[in-house]
Structure 1
Amino acid sequence: MMEKLASALMMCGIVNAALYEGVISTSHGQVQGHPAFNSTPNGNLTNWKDITVWKGIPFAASTAGENRWKAPKPAGRWNGTLDAKNYGDICPSTSSNSEYTISENCLNLNIWTSATSTKQKRPVVMWSYPAYSTAADALFDGAGMADAGVVYVNYNYRTGALGWLAHPELSQERFNTVGFNSSGNYGMLDQFAALKWIHDNIEAFGGDPNRITVMGQSAGSAATQHILNSPLTKGLIVGAIIESGVRDPHDPLCETLAENYRNLTFALNQGLDYLADKNTSSIANARKLDYTTFVDSDFPPTSSSWTFTATLDHYALPDTYENTLRKGAANDVPIITGNTRDESGATYGLNITIAEYFADLNETYSGQWVDKFLELYPGNNASQASESENQQFTDRSIIGTWIWAQKWKQAAKSPIYTYIWDHAPPGQSQGAYHESEINYVLNNLYGTDSPWTDEDYEIAATMNSYWVNFIKTGNPNGQGLTRWDKSNSKEITQRLGDGFGPVPLALANRVKLMEEWLLTQPVW
């Protein structure tokens, strides 16, 4: 009798105990969580014994068959208690790892928390992963965030043709359902659906539905930016962390990097050609084919010529990036955004010839701009040419992000914080590469086998503190941390990694040159 009473009290949030000791009720059924650790993890986690993880919880129905290329539908109710011990299926992708089960029934999420009561209403963060990844990747484990008092959620979403195909028939379907004559962005709608599920259910996991921050890196930063911008998510978030994503909408890299999109005309024409290439004449027929028909290689030398990415549909993606900045995003919330030193064209340890450097400059800048860039980024020998090649791309990222921040502030009241990450994790030769900050901000060094040092654990503790403070308050600053000022008209950003504190964007004449060149480029 006493055991039943204790269980009942725990379900009501009265008894303080790790949440894996009880069953959680969601809008679709009950779920049983599990301890995140069975023994002490490496690193600086202090509440690890209380951390519960739930894996593979459906947030939407299967996307197979008649649900293919449709907005995600609500998950059905399940009978009994879902044992959330293992990751769910992952969405089809050209890079899908064979260790995972792949299917179109892949819209599921995972939750970590150290809450000991369902009534604690802790701040929540939703993580969107980068391209060629999955929510089951150890790099995105959320126990480090949970240890610091944040309810952390990651999730799967559709990619490739299955996530982004546009087609006239699909546009007609959307017009019939929501009144918008456009299509594509089904992966984006998955991202929105995950956010809405979290908003509706996270309180049962000790989270506060009114304190959700969205966060992601690379393609996940694009997801975060779309959530920030879209009227379909208005009012659902209180903050956004955009890692290796935004840049001045005049930058040509907007066409090829994570935040790229295509106009509707391009997407519709491609959709017609794509189905013809698959020897199917209609969406109805295409929905009857095995999903593997629509998984196309993204990797050379066998990569396809198809471009499946976000579409400017004026529904999920409401406007161009430039217009959204000028008019104001749907969600005016605090933002952290920045880059790593060795990404977006910058390659650590680069070794090129003077001729190769000149050729790259002519391809990138052309005309009168080549001499202007060569004056400030000289290449008088191979070593200098290699250094200049990298530096102009690093500067371009830092300056472009700062320009984006200045444009954001014109229509927004909320603060924005920018950074440059420059720490190279041990055991590799790519420097402060794309994705290299993730282990540190999530404080999950315990989950990977890199040869971490005491310095790495210290950096992770600092990085995680900045991120957690922001998730909790909208401001990254806190006790014991080097102050991080919000972005303003001063040409500075925050250095994170091998040092912490404000640093100039670049040499003043380089900032001026980059700004002038960007203004001559077409706008996104």
Structure 2
Amino acid sequence: MAVLGVLVALSVLLEIISAASLGVVSTEGGLVQGQNLLLGFSRYMDVFKGIPFADIPGRFEKPKSHPGWSGTLKATQFRDKCLQLNPFMTIVSGNEDCLYLNIWVPHIGSVASNMPVMVWIYGGAFMFGESFGANFMGTHLYNGQELAERGNVIVVTLGYRVGTLGFLSAGDSTLPGNYGLWDQQAAIAWVHRNIQAFGGDPSNITVFGESAGGASVSFQTLTPHNKGLIRRAITQSGVALCPWSVNRNPRKYAEELALKVNCPTDSGMADCLKMTDPKVLTKAGTVSLTSSPDDPFVDNLALTPVIDGDFLPDDPSNLFHNTADIDYMAGANDMDGHIFTFYDVPSINSPLTFTSVDEIKRLLGAFTKEKGTLGFENGFSTYTLDWGSNPSQETIKKTAVAIETDYIFLIPTQAALYLHASNAGTGRTYSYFFSEPNRMGNYNKPWLGADHADDLQYVFGLPYSTPLMYWPKHRTLSGHMIAYWTNFAKTGDPNVGDLRTPATWPTFTSTGHKFLEINSKMDAGYVGQKLRLRYVNFWTSIFPNLPSIYSE
């Protein structure tokens, strides 16, 4: 027994001595030191929280380089989120000093070296969110530990300005807008310049994000300002072509906001707004939470990117030549639109409340109004083709969700995939469709599929970090997604890398349009072709060619 005790003590000592850590890292701003975690035998991770990638930003200005610091920065705490309203539009929280990033570096067997890098951009309608995500059973949603360790990649999450301070635009050079996009770009450039010191490969950066974060990733690949910085990109439920991604008349909202804070709407507007208290500006940047089938909630989202002639020199649809050599993976959830239908058609969520055909007609009418009666009639016949003479309540409710899912997320994503594939040089294109049913839907909505943001928990490995909240099938699904996502980050091919996958995922081409359906039951047969073809055909071919009777 004594010999055994000595051997155990010796092995522990050797483990401590051989602990893999970066120690103090030298960056362009100064020295930083994170926290070193022991994950298992010969498995360590360095976690850096709160490294500044830019200075405190000037109001309605592009981010500037950080002046640096003396001594060693202890990077062990997440920093404040950027100033923002809560989802109920009542309380302001956060800080103007918010341009920080977090880094997870796994050391599996040896100290990290030349590793692929995955840079996460959070969603939140360009109004909410932070680099670490919501607290979930003691962990944070965007905690990069599981993804970094299981996928053997470096994970970076970043903060960027949202709401008024991130996206207010007068539509001219006095308040050009897109400040939040410039923040993201500054973080990506910082990672490119500094990640080698953390064991990363600056020539292999994958940018990925969801919802407004997915649209942001899309914008980052389209802008000429990132030339050569991004190797690969993944957009989840959001692209630059989404109807909510670009505000084409930003001046109207800017003037409305200016009046709220007692600023003029003439040539003095920008100067007045710059001198207004930032919390007052943030609180004024509300969107209406009331909506109806005739006035859908998605139309209220006004604090979004703009075509400014600089970050976005042209309409996003005309900038896909800039993505020619970027590998691209994109997809949507099968019921992404449910979160919006909840606002527009409240009866959708109650098994006891009747959802009428009239509500479906009004909703579709709102999305097709620019084409008038012809647009509505073509759309209604497309969505009710399989209804029969007496559709069930489940069928009607699912149709409402399908209309919102297609219009807001799925069709724009398909269009982005097509434009990427048709402009491709060396860049490969991959399409997915996420269909794991929402875990809360079983109680009163057995028909509910994957709601908006349902994919995030699996990409970030929450079924592993909070196992009591999940079934084994959820860990299986999380393993599949981490494998596809990190294989893609390493090689540009989700099938090729260190981790095995359940199905071979074919590329999406301009003629093939193949996709992978992702859920916990998937096997080699979950490859499909021409996703929701009838609906894609309506929105991308039939609808645009109808005569317009109305425009904004």
TM range, smaller chain:
0.7 to 0.9
Pairing of 1:418-437 with structure 2 (within 5 A): 418-427=431-440, 431-437=449-455
2:420 maps to 408
Is structure 2 residue 342 aligned with structure 1 residue 342?
Answer: no
Whichever residue aligns with residue 320 of structure 1, its letter is D
Aligned equivalents of 1:233, 1:47: Cα separation in 2: 39
Q: Is the 8 A contact 1:53 1:110 kept in 2?
A: yes
| Structure 2 unmatched ranges of 5 or more | 1-16, 134-139, 292-296, 343-347, 443-447
Q: Is the 8 A contact 1:377 1:392 kept in 2?
A: no
- Helix, strand or coil: the match of 1:216? strand
In the TM superposition, what is the alpha-carbon distance from 1:376 to its structure 2 partner?
A: 1.7
- Helix, strand or coil: the match of 1:467? helix
Q: 1:378 to 1:71 in 2, by over 3 A?
A: same
Q: CA RMSD in A?
A: 3.3
1:241 maps to 234
Is structure 2 residue 98 aligned with structure 1 residue 106?
Answer: yes
Pairing of 1:201-240 with structure 2 (within 5 A): 201-240=194-233
Q: Is the 8 A contact 2:116 2:490 kept in 1?
A: yes
In the TM superposition, what is the alpha-carbon distance from 1:399 to its structure 2 partner?
A: 5.1
- Helix, strand or coil: the match of 2:504? coil
Is structure 2 residue 251 aligned with structure 1 residue 255?
Answer: no
2:47 maps to 53
Whichever residue aligns with residue 209 of structure 2, its letter is G
Whichever residue aligns with residue 136 of structure 1, its letter is F
Q: 1:333 aligns with which of 306, 316, 326?
A: 326
1:179 maps to none
Q: 2:289 aligns with which of 282, 295, 300?
A: 300
2:61 maps to 70
Aligned equivalents of 2:41, 2:91: Cα separation in 1: 30
In the TM superposition, what is the alpha-carbon distance from 1:468 to its structure 2 partner?
A: 0.4
Aligned length: 477
- Helix, strand or coil: the match of 1:171? coil
1:197 maps to 190
In the TM superposition, what is the alpha-carbon distance from 1:389 to its structure 2 partner?
A: 3.2
Whichever residue aligns with residue 470 of structure 1, its letter is F
Q: Is the deviation greater in 211-220 or in 289-298?
A: 289-298
- Helix, strand or coil: the match of 1:25? strand
2:401 maps to 390
In the TM superposition, what is the alpha-carbon distance from 1:353 to its structure 2 partner?
A: 2.3
Pairing of 1:35-50 with structure 2 (within 5 A): 35-36=36-37, 49-50=43-44
1:442 maps to 460
Whichever residue aligns with residue 333 of structure 1, its letter is I
Q: 1:419 to 1:139 in 2, by over 3 A?
A: same
Aligned equivalents of 1:450, 1:364: Cα separation in 2: 42
Aligned equivalents of 1:308, 1:444: Cα separation in 2: 31
Q: TM-score normalized by structure 1?
A: 0.82
Aligned equivalents of 1:271, 1:360: Cα separation in 2: 28
C-alpha deviations, 1:442-497, integer Å up to 9, x for none? 22334558720111111111110000000000010034431000012235421001
C-alpha deviations, 1:76-99, integer Å up to 9, x for none? 211211111110121001128999
Aligned equivalents of 1:164, 1:277: Cα separation in 2: 17
Whichever residue aligns with residue 76 of structure 1, its letter is P
Q: 1:280 aligns with which of 249, 260, 263?
A: 263
Which runs of at least 4 in structure 1 moved beyond 6 Å after TM superposition?
96-101, 116-119, 302-306, 521-524
In the TM superposition, what is the alpha-carbon distance from 1:118 to its structure 2 partner?
A: 6.4
Q: 1:118 to 1:230 in 2, by over 3 A?
A: farther
1:153 maps to 156
Aligned equivalents of 2:423, 2:485: Cα separation in 1: 24
- Helix, strand or coil: the match of 1:319? coil
Aligned equivalents of 2:80, 2:455: Cα separation in 1: 27
1:322 maps to 317
Pairing of 1:357-372 with structure 2 (within 5 A): 357-365=360-368, 366-367=373-374, 368-370=377-379, 372=381
Is structure 2 residue 26 aligned with structure 1 residue 33?
Answer: no
Aligned equivalents of 1:77, 1:332: Cα separation in 2: 34
Aligned equivalents of 1:96, 1:385: Cα separation in 2: 29
2:144 maps to 142
Aligned equivalents of 1:23, 1:370: Cα separation in 2: 60
Q: TM-score normalized by structure 2?
A: 0.78
- Helix, strand or coil: the match of 2:488? helix
Q: Is the deviation greater in 277-286 or in 236-245?
A: 277-286
Q: Is the 8 A contact 1:48 1:114 kept in 2?
A: no
- Helix, strand or coil: the match of 1:262? coil
Aligned equivalents of 1:512, 1:96: Cα separation in 2: 35
C-alpha deviations, 1:177-228, integer Å up to 9, x for none? xxxxx71111110000000110111111111111101000001011101110
| Structure 1 unmatched ranges of 5 or more | 1-14, 41-45, 173-181
- Helix, strand or coil: the match of 1:115? strand
Q: 1:425 to 1:509 in 2, by over 3 A?
A: closer
The sequence identity of aligned pairs, in percent, is 27
Q: Is the 8 A contact 2:288 2:300 kept in 1?
A: no
Q: Is the deviation greater in 435-444 or in 109-118?
A: 109-118
In the TM superposition, what is the alpha-carbon distance from 1:371 to its structure 2 partner?
A: 5.0
Pairing of 1:77-92 with structure 2 (within 5 A): 77-92=68-83
